[in-house]
A and B are shown apart, each in its own frame.
Chain A
Amino acid sequence: MSLTHYLVLAAILFTIGAVGVLVRRNAIVVFMCVELMLNSVNLTLVTFARATGTIDGQIMAFFVMVVAAAEVVVGLAIIMSIYRTRRSASVDDANLLKY
């Protein structure tokens, strides 16, 4: 398995995630797609770390995971409270903050 395979896989995962963020309305699904994008980046980082024989990429991947974990906590809490007040998890319904 060459470097290219990993990178292509990461690109595919990132694209799926990005498309999911853009086309899906359900906040939970959008959230999962964001996680997918983050993890595709992680995969890229780890791949390069391995290819170059350094650990910088792996350290950065850990950072991304920590940030993602924190983000999930905050994000899910927000989604929950929005759902409780508005009975909807659609990101298109939460559109009050505008011009």
Chain B
Amino acid sequence: MDTVPADGLLSASWLLIALPLAGAAVLLLGGRRTDRWGHLLGTATVAAAFVVALACTLQLDERQVAVDLFTFIDSGSLDVRAGLLFDPLSAVFALLITGVGALIHVYSIGYMAHDPRRRRFFAYLNLFVAAMLLLVLGDNYVALYVGWEGVGLASYLLIAFWHERPAAATAAKKAFIMNRVGDVGLALAIFVMFAQLGTVTYEGVFGSVGLLAGGTVTAIGLLLLLGACGKSGQFPLQAWLPDAMEGPTPVSALIHAATMVTAGVYLIARSAPIYDLTETARTVVLCVGAVTLMIGAIAGCAYDDIKKVLAYSTVSQIGYMFLAVGLGPVGYAAAIAHLLTHGFFKAGLFLGAGSVMHAMDDQVDMRRFGGLAKKLPVTFVTFGLGYLALIGFPFLSGYWTKDAIIEAALDRGGVSGWVLGGVAVLGAGLTAFYMTRLMLMTFFGKARWAPSAPGRPTPHPHESPSVMTAPMVLLSIGSVAAGFLLVQAFPLVEWLAPVFGEPEEAEHVVAPALVGIAVTAVMALGVLAAWLFVGRREVPVVAPERVSVVTRAARKALYADAINESLFMRPGQWLTRALVWVDNRGVDGAVNGMAAALGGSSARLGRAQTGFVRTYALGMLGGAVLVAGALLAVTAG
């Protein structure tokens, strides 16, 4: 379907970006004066953006609308216009970002109530929302890149929001640097597009990408994938995401679960016309997705930090989405559907985790929780619904959207279809295991509460204020209903048809009903295993030391950090040390050595100046004799 110019309310869709951006500007430039009402303004701008997004979406009726704004870069043959593309794909993203974003803003009012820097927190959150909306609404890769870097910056600022904690500062740097690795890939992909096609707009690139040589298209696909892996915490750049949990919990919910980390999925889905042309790049996407979903699920089973378990769960679920987009046209809509439902239930789970931490004096060690179900009834119910949605309990969100991905993987047919489908089913079982373990350790069993630090009182858990529980309730409703709504009631596949093409009726290798039963059975096995290992016995307060090799590896997240350190960090350190040595000894050495040689020789030559006139006279005589002798030798000889 062709893109049409914007009309009516849609031509004002730039307000979506402008509102949160203005909020961030006011809060950052206004300083302390805005302290009293800053959080309200920050929430209001995002809520207003949600209203605009909703109104725009209602007016869209399955068109692709272009909003031309102004010339961004005009230099030689490079002409980048700042324009927005409001189509069904960006519409669902805009709704997710502003909708979940607004709920998390409301939650943050309560969560950050006692933080002296709450206004700055809201300013950064607004900045994030604006950048994320630019990322999904831009109509060219440069706009996407600007948004991409903007969310990276906001993510960095928010992970390090409590920068007085060394762990938070380090985690922020780690996230920033690992993202930079991915961003280089994205930047190179854009360079290749411009060099080969002379344009960076979606319309121009997708229109002429078919004319390129196969190798170039594959290179663009792989470079885009590198960018996507960095931003989405996918293998091999997954190690930063769990560390990013050092940030405040609303940040983990909004940025590192629901929206920013799914930008990689958006990038690949948006670049579908490129990936349709390169089987190689798509296979790599598939492999990345399958590997990451296993890494995330395995690591999630071993961690005791509630937020890190959820973070590895996010890594794993985004692995599912990568797997889906790697499957090609059959998977795009499934990936986006899972992305949306995941946005709901994972944001809800993180907000629940935040509520638990709030009650437990900011502790995150699940071995110190237990028996919280009675103390935190609202948190327990909302968290529980999110948990059921995530593990794919029948007819809740995850069931619909994850099954769709598993089905699509199996429908691929052949050995690869069985391998990918098997991995996805196994991942579903592991998901059920680690999430059940989390539930059992947190909400059930005996209370194992302890002071968070020596000298602090033992926590007395209490339910969070309603400003925090209300968003949790709304998100849990989304967790329950979103899957049914998006798959059955108002199929997302049809809504996204203008972007990804009409859905084809796939030939099922395994009957869908059978897949549903099998996945549910595996899930039940995972839950049962968790109950056998964790639920029916006492949870040790200190993690057991004598564990199997697999557990030890899983506790280290399969040695991702160790591999990164030994492969990149240490050689990098050696390189810098060698360069410093060369600089000190080589460059500085040459300069200093020359100066020292001149100074030393002049000091030694200066000794010839004895002050005795007769010595000088002898020198002059000797010199004169030499000159006369030389002259004689020349003239006579």
Which residues of chain A have a CB within 8 Å of any CB of chain B? 18, 21-23, 25, 30, 91-92, 94-99
A30 to B621, CA, bound (A): 14
Q: Which of B611, B614, B617 contacts A96 (CB 8 A)?
A: B611
A95 to B614, CA, bound (A): 10
A94 to B616, CA, bound (A): 13
Q: Which of A18, A23, A30, A92 contacts B612 (CB 8 A)?
A: A92
A26 to B618, CA, bound (A): 16
Q: Is the CB of B614 within 8 A of A99?
A: no
A23 to B608, CA, bound (A): 19
A95 to B615, CA, bound (A): 11
Q: Is the CB of B621 within 8 A of A94?
A: no
Find chain B residues with CB under 8 A from A98 CB: 609-611
Find chain B residues with CB under 8 A from A96 CB: 611
Find chain A residues with CB under 8 A from B456 CB: none
Q: Is the CB of B609 within 8 A of A91?
A: no
CB of B549 to closest CB in A, whole Å: 76
Find chain A residues with CB under 8 A from B621 CB: 18, 21-22
Q: Is the CB of A22 within 8 A of B609?
A: no
Find chain A residues with CB under 8 A from B617 CB: 21-22
29 A-B interface contacts by CB (under 8 A)? A18-B621, A21-B617, A21-B621, A22-B614, A22-B617, A22-B618, A22-B621, A23-B614, A25-B614, A30-B613, A30-B614, A91-B612, A91-B613, A91-B614, A92-B613, A92-B614, A94-B613, A95-B610, A95-B611, A95-B613, A96-B611, A97-B611, A98-B609, A98-B610, A98-B611, A99-B606, A99-B607, A99-B608, A99-B609
Find chain B residues with CB under 8 A from A95 CB: 610-613
| Chain B 593-637 interface 0/1 with A at a Cβ cutoff of 8 Å (1 = within) | 000000000000011111111100110010000000000000000
CB of A36 to closest CB in B, whole Å: 14
Find chain A residues with CB under 8 A from B618 CB: 22
Closest to A99 in B: B606
A-B contact sample (11 more), CB < 8 A, given A21-B614, A97-B609, A99-B609: A21-B617, A22-B614, A22-B618, A30-B614, A91-B613, A91-B614, A94-B613, A95-B612, A97-B611, A98-B610, A99-B608
CB of B604 to closest CB in A, whole Å: 10
A31 to B608, CA, bound (A): 24
Closest to A25 in B: B614
A9 to B130, CA, bound (A): 107
A98 to B612, CA, bound (A): 8
A35 to B302, CA, bound (A): 106
Closest to B607 in A: A99
Which residues of chain B have a CB within 8 Å of any CB of chain A? 606-614, 617-618, 621
Closest to A92 in B: B612
A95 to B612, CA, bound (A): 5
Which are the 8 A-B pairs with shortest beta-carbon distances?
A: A98-B611, A95-B611, A99-B606, A91-B613, A99-B609, A98-B609, A21-B617, A95-B612
A74 to B614, CA, bound (A): 19
A91 to B617, CA, bound (A): 11
CB of A12 to closest CB in B, whole Å: 16
A95 to B616, CA, bound (A): 11
A98 to B606, CA, bound (A): 8
CB of A28 to closest CB in B, whole Å: 14
Closest to A24 in B: B614
Closest to B606 in A: A99
CB of A11 to closest CB in B, whole Å: 12
A91 to B612, CA, bound (A): 7
A22 to B617, CA, bound (A): 7
A48 to B418, CA, bound (A): 119
CB of A81 to closest CB in B, whole Å: 16
Find chain B residues with CB under 8 A from A18 CB: 621
Closest to B625 in A: A18
Find chain A residues with CB under 8 A from B612 CB: 91-92, 95
A30 to B606, CA, bound (A): 25
CB of A95 to closest CB in B, whole Å: 3
Find chain B residues with CB under 8 A from A99 CB: 606-611
A4 to B617, CA, bound (A): 28
A92 to B618, CA, bound (A): 14
Find chain B residues with CB under 8 A from A25 CB: 614
A23 to B618, CA, bound (A): 10
A97 to B617, CA, bound (A): 15
A34 to B618, CA, bound (A): 13
Closest to A97 in B: B611
Closest to A33 in B: B617
CB of A79 to closest CB in B, whole Å: 12
A98 to B608, CA, bound (A): 9
CB of A55 to closest CB in B, whole Å: 25
Find chain A residues with CB under 8 A from B613 CB: 30, 91-92, 94-95
Find chain B residues with CB under 8 A from A23 CB: 614
A21 to B621, CA, bound (A): 10
CB of A44 to closest CB in B, whole Å: 13
Closest to B621 in A: A18
Find chain B residues with CB under 8 A from A91 CB: 612-614
CB of B438 to closest CB in A, whole Å: 83
A21 to B608, CA, bound (A): 19
Closest to A21 in B: B617
A30 to B616, CA, bound (A): 13
A99 to B615, CA, bound (A): 14
CB of B253 to closest CB in A, whole Å: 78
A43 to B560, CA, bound (A): 99
A18 to B609, CA, bound (A): 21
Find chain A residues with CB under 8 A from B608 CB: 99
A6 to B490, CA, bound (A): 132
A26 to B617, CA, bound (A): 14
A77 to B33, CA, bound (A): 86
A25 to B618, CA, bound (A): 13
CB of B291 to closest CB in A, whole Å: 76
A79 to B469, CA, bound (A): 107
Closest to B610 in A: A98
CB of A88 to closest CB in B, whole Å: 13
CB of A53 to closest CB in B, whole Å: 23
CB of B625 to closest CB in A, whole Å: 10
Find chain A residues with CB under 8 A from B614 CB: 21-23, 25, 30, 91-92
CB of A8 to closest CB in B, whole Å: 17
Closest to B614 in A: A22
A21 to B610, CA, bound (A): 17
A49 to B23, CA, bound (A): 105
